Structure 1
Amino acid sequence: MRSEDPTNDRSGDARLVPLAVSSRAAAAAIGRIAPRHDSAQWWGARVSDDVDTHARLSPGRTAFIGAGGETTYRKLRDLVARVRALLLAHGCRQGDRVVVSGPRSVNTAVAFLALESIGATYVPVDETWPSERLSHIFAQVGCAYVLGHNGRSGRGAWVPAPPLARAAVEMGVRPLDLARAADHTPRPPSPATRPDDPGRQARYVIYTSGSTGTPKGAVVEHRGMANHLLHMRRALGLRPDDVVAFNAPATYVVSMWQMLAALSAGATVAVIDEFAAAYPRRLLKAWHEHGVTVAQLVPTVMSLVVDELRRRAASDPLPRLRWLIATGEELRPRVAAGVLDTLPNTRLMNAYGMSECSDDVAQHVIRRADVERPRLPVGRPIANTALHVLVAQGPAWRPAGPGETGELFVAGLPVGAGYVDSAEARSAAFFHDSLHPRSPTLRLYRTGDLARVDESLVYCLGRVDRQVKIRGVRMELDEIEGMLGQHPSLTRCAVTAEAVKESHELLVHYVATDDVTPRELQTFLDAGLPAPAPTRWVRLVSMPLTGNGKTDYRALAASVPSRPADRSRVPTTTTK
């Protein structure tokens, strides 16, 4: 269904309210927005056009490799052309939003590339999400059908999972099997179907839970995606002989560059299936078998991989791996040091981004000297991006001083177009950018993250909503996690807070390698806090993780044991 939502074009930005900010903020920005003279050309570059070019010049080169075998660029072009014909036959037009569901595979990219070539918007969902969530998304998107696939080309029809099937019936949405494209004649792009000015088109929508639990669809424009892909190609030096691991769920923003950057460079995408991605030993085996040269992990999984590499004690376990990128949560110095120790010939990058922007907005290549710091920087902005650390001062904002904590704002090409059909959420996070008159988007995004700037490097300090006051002292739960993570007995830890009357109590969930006692941990914690804090300790056998490997704070909150009646300062512990 064609969307008339204002997030699909720039005219909706006129509704954004300017942020009341000091004029000094522009001069204090980290990075700069400097579109090139040929900006309209390169931010409108389509990955589907790159695939066509590679298929013409190097038809036998491998585009995808994985459990399903190899897919050459010639075959990929043919698959995209058939799915394009399928979509056009079902009335898909420029500006439509199309929901796509299916396991991570070459078909994930085929669906995206076909939609991109038409000028439609790709909206990935997980068919196992609750049916209420899927119904909400179907209603927001206004889709007439769901394009689904089973991840295996030519082997069996797609059968929607029960939650998606229920939501589709409830909302009157028709399931459309991507495998039916085999019955269509490949249809190359034509002037009639090629999109006009793709740079400003909504290219994809990533649904996030949001702070309220209501799913919000973050809209990213084509030009933001193109800027990020070009930056990744240059920052990583991607070449046709590279192999990029595609291990992120399709519903997470990092999946976009993992499956597209290699294709734009004529390189190979290695699809890591769910079975291999869930276990470090199998993940390392898949990387080795496919000759992966570039991979990305959340730090929690990265730590598990480091543990597995230490058990193997090989001098050069992954000789082809050039880059390992951390994303999704804070990279702790101890984990980074483990990567540098176990993968001496691999460069480590710390990346910081979000769904509301086109993935990364800042990056930093970790060096040995960095891991001696208590916290690692997220670095400097990517191309055509400016970062602002601002401090609220009355009704206005001022730039933070060196080392001063403030809120992080993003300006430039990565900033997305807001949220689907959610003006209230958009106005709370997106503002008119009056600081950068040359910015193509003229949008400023409030990340909700705390940050500071030291020596022109940005440090993220956690979420604003992860701040608590304990006995009148403001504390950052993420900083406490970072400090506890330095204890030699702890392999994992997560800190939450419970409201207790007018204050809070810390709740520390931890996984330990020995019999360290809560009293010993409390002494270590008190030494680093600005003031002693009442704390409960919950020892875990393993830390619960979300589908993409991050600490699952909601699962931790649901498993919190009831508070003991004794409110003394004696540390208490519960084993789960």
Structure 2
Amino acid sequence: MAYLLHQLLQNSARRFPDKEAVRFQGATLTYQEVDQVTNKVAQTLLDLGVRRGDRVGIFVSKSLASIIATFGVLKSGAVYVPIDPSAPAQRLSYILNNCGIKILLSTPEKLKNIEEIVADSHSLQSVILMANCKQGKEIPLKGILQIIPWSVVQSKSDRQVMCTESIDGDLAYILYTSGSTGHPKGVMVSHRAIFTFLNWCYEKFSITENDRIPFHAPLHFDLSTFEIFVTIMAGGTIIIVPENLSVFPVQLVELLESEKITVVYLVPSILSMMVNYGELDTHDLTRVRMVLFAGEVFPIKYLRKLTEKLTRAEFYNLYGPTETNVCTYYKVQGRDVYPDQRRPLPIGIACENIEVFAVNDDGQKVTKPGERGELWVRGACLAHGYWGDLEKTTQRFINNSFQENFTDLAYKTGDIVMLDQDGVNWEFIGRNDHMVKSRGYRIELGEIESALYHYPGVKEVAVVAIPDELIGNRLKAYVVPMDGTELAGKEIETHCWKCLPRYMIPESIELCQDLPKTSTGKINRPLLACV
């Protein structure tokens, strides 16, 4: 019985040793090969003193190294912390320090990036390279005690490595998401929590060893947990999608066709671009039997076109924050995509072994169609909270007041929902704070505003989300300069690039004399969003 993530790989390696486990741009690894090389990585980590519960960073572009690093860390009993390769140095340094990461798994081409973050990192001691450097390029980094070349990893034994102390309540990974204080927050996910999701997916979508599933999402995005772990659980094949392919819909569709993809899990903005620019009529995607999507609202007109092209596929709308992973689902019906349909898809009903319910302003459960409330989630799917932030954890992970007989945690999602007319499915209404979705990413507008306020000469800031049916939301910033100060939008944008990840950079920055206010003196954000 598997109860730790790396056991999924070990089980499939025993069942399908010679079967292709993962492929990337023509290079492939069998299950046995992945199992053996990840043993070497785990042994390297153990030899460096890594113990159960230690955090190990993964700083690689999407490649075979992504899979190898992930399972190598898990086998050592440590917690993997994927770091966005495109994030600015300031954000990377914060994550390393916040999490106390001493060891980083990376690749030679990332050494220059690592040098930029070393100066501000108080914890990083070692970098393990996941590939060979070009001759003469292995240069020590200032501030790093040691760099472990790939040749050292390869010299380790490939015998099975197992941290026998680990239990399913231990942390498996920490994903950093946007935070309202100006700093990202680390969501702590245990093996038990992610297994709740994996087991449900495996059974619900009948994933088998014959499935070929693309690894499209970044490793630091929770969609990747399905693409990697459910595929490995079933003994299927992971097809790694190059990072730059998302901006070329035709090439992405070509990959789905050439690699004989059977199940996809993508954000609606990517699927919408495939519909608009992917030339679906000229490609054979009849092998696709399942289309899963999550992360943002899928415009009905694009969903309808996709269902018309992929007539053999079933479509599911999945919903859930990083703190719970997927907690509700909805199977798309024919009536949902009729030409006259204007309502967004419901987020559906709770996944098995999870309970969701909504709480209204009076603190009572929502029971009637049309009544609104904040969605709460309870069950083994809950994360352990936010790394190093007990205050924020206790604000969102609270004791379930509807359970009087024992301690029972529930997660307050901050999402406002209501029951549909039948009283069965939940419908998503919006957020009760300033968090939005764009291109599938959760973005706290307050984090962007915090970054803008740090720019000299800025008096007042407001960032609003402009609804966009293709990507979810476009970000626009309004900036009021200090009296007598002249600011340039281009320079402010450059500042943003230094302290925010790419997906959080406002698409436009408008300088203005003042911001509209409500009668209570607050910034009138709805009015700004309509400008």
The TM-score range, normalised by the shorter chain, is 0.7 to 0.9
1:241 paired with 2:210, answer yes
Distance in 1, matches of 2:84 and 2:394, equals 28
Calculate the TM-score normalised by the size of structure 2: 0.77
By how many angstroms is 1:561 displaced?
A: 6.5
User: Once the 2 structures are TM-superposed, how far is the Cα of residue 552 of structure 1 from its aligned partner?
Assistant: 5.3
Q: 2:118 maps to which residue?
A: 168
1:185 matched to 2:157? yes
Query: Are 1:458 and 2:426 an aligned pair?
Result: yes
Structure 2 CA distance for partners of 1:552 and 1:145, relative to 1, 3 Å: closer
Report if the CA contact (8 A) 1:99-1:143 is conserved.
Answer: yes
Which one-letter code corresponds to 2:196 in the other structure? N
The answer to whether the 8 Å contact 1:380/1:457 transfers is yes
Letter in 2 for 1:175: V
Give 1:402's aligned amino acid: P
Contact 1:134 1:164 in 2 (8 A): no
* Matching residue of 2:525: none
Answer whether contact 1:128 1:161 (CA < 8 A) is retained.
no
Q: Could you tell me which residue of structure 1 aligns to residue 506 of structure 2?
A: 555
Deviations 1:533-558 (A, max 9, x none): xxxxxxxxxxxxx9xxx9957513x4
| Residue 526 (structure 1) aligns with | none
**Is the CA contact 2:16–2:31 (under 8 Å) kept in the aligned structure 1?**
yes
Alpha-carbon distance in structure 1 between the residues aligned to 2:72 and 2:62: 16
Deviation string 1:174-203 (CA, Å, 9 cap, x unpaired) is 22223342121113135xx3233x211111
Question: Cα 1:209–1:352, aligned 2, differ >3 Å: closer, same or farther?
Answer: same
Q: Is 1:391 aligned with 2:391?
A: no
Q: Aligned AA for 2:273?
A: L
Mapped partners of 2:249, 2:411: distance in 1: 36
Query: What are the residue-to-residue correspondences of 1:344-423 with 2, within 5 Å?
Result: 344-357=311-324, 359-371=325-337, 372-393=341-362, 396-399=363-366, 401-423=368-390
Q: Which of 437, 443, 448 pairs up with 2:409?
A: 443
**Aligned CA distance change for structure 1 residues 76 and 495 (closer, same or farther; 3 Å):** closer
Equivalent positions of 1:18-167 (< 5 A) are 45-148=3-106, 150=107, 158-167=108-117
Q: Percent identity?
A: 24
Q: Is this contact kept in 1: 2:103–2:128, CA < 8 A?
A: yes
Relative to structure 1, the CA distance from residue 334 to residue 362 in structure 2 (aligned partners, 3 Å threshold; closer, same or farther) is same
| 1:493–1:168 Cα change, 3 Å | closer
Residue 112 (structure 1) shift? 2.0
1:450-506 CA-to-partner distances (Å, cap 9, x unmatched) read 1111231011112112599xxxxxxxx99x948xx5xxxxx6784779999xxxxxx
Alignment match, 1:536: none
Structure 1 counterpart of 2:146: none
Q: Give the distance between the partners of 1:344 and 1:104, measured in 2 at CA.
A: 31
Distance apart, 1:114 and its partner CA: 2.3
Unaligned runs of 5+ in 2: 131-149, 437-463, 480-496, 516-531
Query: How far, CA to CA, are the matches of 1:397 and 1:218 in structure 2?
Result: 28
Aligned partners of 2:10 and 2:503: how far apart in 1?
41
The residue type equivalent to 1:338 in the other structure is K
- Could you report, residue by residue, the CA deviation over 1:143-165 in whole angstroms, capped at 9, with x for unpaired residues? 222122x3xxxxxxx24354432
- Displacement of 1:50 in angstroms is 2.9
Question: What is the deviation of 1:298?
Answer: 1.3
- Partner of residue 338, structure 1: 305
Q: What amino acid is aligned across from residue 165 of structure 1 in structure 2? A: E
TM-score by length of 1: 0.71
- CA distance in structure 2 between the partners assigned to 1:384 and 1:183 by the alignment: 44
1:194 aligned onto 2:164: yes
The letter of the residue matching 2:281 is A
Q: Which deviations, in whole Å up to 9, do the C-alpha atoms of 1:308-364 show, x marking residues without a partner?
A: 35x4535x730111111111111222222121112111111111121112x211111
Deviation at 1:52, TM superposition (A): 2.1
* Aligned residue in 1 for 2:133: none
Aligned partners of 1:205 and 1:90: how far apart in 2?
21
Distance 1:227 1:277, change over 3 A: same
Secondary structure at 1:399 match in 2: coil
> Which whole-Å CA distance do the structure 2 matches of 1:335 and 1:137 have between them?
37
The Cα of 1:433 is off from its aligned counterpart by 2.7
Are positions 1:429 and 2:396 aligned together? yes
- CA offsets per residue over residues 397-447 of structure 1, 9 Å max, x none? 4435321121111111111010000112112211023435899x9321111
> Cα offset for 1:132?
1.9
Mapped contact 1:97–1:120 kept (Cα < 8 A):
yes
Aligned length, in residue pairs: 444
Task: In structure 2, give the amino acid aligned to 1:369.
Answer: R
Change (3 A) 1:195 1:49: same
What is the identity, as a one-letter code, of the residue corresponding to 1:183?
Answer: S
User: Alpha-carbon deviation of 1:365?
Assistant: 1.3
- Please provide the CA RMSD for this pair: 3.2
Q: Which structure has the higher relative contact order (CA within 8 Å, separation 6+)?
A: 1
Equivalent residue letter for 1:194: T
Distance 1:564-1:304 versus aligned 2 partners, 3 A rule: farther
Unaligned runs of 5+ in 1: 1-40, 151-157, 469-476, 486-490, 501-545, 566-576
Task: Output the CA distance in 2 between the equivalents of 1:459 and 1:563.
Answer: 39
Q: In 1, are the aligned partners of 2:82 and 2:174 still within 8 Å (CA)?
A: yes
- One-letter code of the match for 2:261? V
Name the CA distance, whole Å, in 1 between partners of 2:6 and 2:311. Answer: 36
